[in-house]
Amino acid sequence: MTLKKVLDEILDKTIDTVEQSKEQIFEIGEQSLNEYQQLEKELMAIRVQVAEVIEQTDKTEIQAKFARNRLAEVSRQFQNFSDDEVRAAYEQANDFQVKLAVLQQKEKQLRDQRDRIERRLVQLKETIDRAEALGSQISVVFNYLSGDLRQFGEIVEDAKEKQEFGLRILEAQEDERKRLSREIHDGPAQMMANVLIRSELIERTYREQGIDKALKEIRDLRIMVKSSLIEVRRIIYDLRPMALDDLGLVPTLIKYLKTVEEHSGIKIMFRNLGQDVRLPTKLEVAVFRFVQEAVQNALKHASPTEVQIKLEIQTTKVIALIKDNGKGFDPTIKKEDSFGLIGMKERIGVLKGDLTIDSTIDKGTLLMIQIPIHQ
């Protein structure tokens, strides 16, 4: 059996496994959703019972109070009452006291049961969200395995190179999905879970502590939702800055670099030396992504105190320079984790451009690209 057939067989088995995993995740999500809906119905019923018990408790407390007052009056003036009247007053006070204790115990049990269901609902919601996210990710992997990777295998003749490069692509994509999944889970998803809990508590706060306390909870909830919206917009911006389509390359770079400077505390200087004109969409995206990746690499690996970016849009080409005063590296030494630079070179090469890397240890790094503009 040839190496290609062996790889195809492995790929087929992998696709089958991925498809089975997708079905299992879907079943987990469906089961969690069914349980979630059932618990929601139970929660509504318990809330009704709690309200009814509270109403009965309030009435019983009033009756018990009157019975105690009646017993106190009989006790003070027992000579004015018959034995039957004294006994009746005592039994009535005792009956109401017992009934009140039973109702209070029942209310506590219902509240505990309600709280357990609310916590379980939050857990189920997280499970459902994770199942949906994993399902989407597995769908992407499945489509890639059954489509792009197969075509890639037909193009690349060297099986070893195909395997290594394919695994690197998968690894890079999976790292990005994990990063996005982690950002969404730790940011918006966590905030939404908190919003769900807080929104459930507002009703109880209104009933137990009054309108003013409930309004304060609503104001806090509004702040939480606003923070979540800001986080979602940041994630969307990282995926695809919408300003790039509306405003163009230069204004979008200025906005992006200012945001990075504020968050990182590193001094970032940007200069536009050429014309502030619109470029073809693909070219604007390519230049933006290059600057974005170069700046992030500098902040992550070089520990600089200053980063300079210069952009020049000429009639026939675009030139971008990214310079930092960080710790630098030796470009002649190939590192195992230098896949980012390789990816940069390949993307620039697709656009018929050139990438120049000039770096010296302890003296910083300079990256320059030149990409022709094809009208």
Region 275-280: mean pLDDT is 80
pLDDT top residue among 276 and 329: 329
Confidence band (pLDDT; 50, 70, 90) for 88? confident
pTM value is: 0.43
Question: CA torsion 344→349→350→351, rounded to 10°?
Answer: 100
Domains along the chain?
Answer: 3-239 (1.10.287), 243-372 (3.30.565.10)
Task: Tell whether the torsion through CA atoms of 284, 287, 293 and 298 is positive or negative.
Answer: negative
Least reliable range by pLDDT among 28-37, 57-66, 225-234, 242-251: 225-234
pLDDT digits (tens, 9 = 90+) for 302-340: 899 999 999 998 888 999 999 999 988 887 776 655 556
pLDDT score at 224: 75
pLDDT digits (tens, 9 = 90+) for 211-268: 877 787 788 777 777 777 766 666 666 656 666 777 788 888 888 899 889 888 999 9
Question: CA torsion 155→160→166→169, rounded to 10°?
Answer: -120
The one-letter amino acid code at 274 reads G
Q: What distance in Å separates the CA atoms of residue 130 and residue 356, rounded to the nearest whole number?
A: 42
pLDDT score at 170: 58
Is the pLDDT score of 208 beyond 80? no
Work out the burial of residue 106: count CB atoms within 10 Å of its CB; fewer than 13 is exposed, 13-18 middle, 19 or more buried: middle
Q: Nearest Cα to 272, choosing from 250, 300, 294?
A: 250
Contact between 275 and 312 (Cβ < 8 Å): no
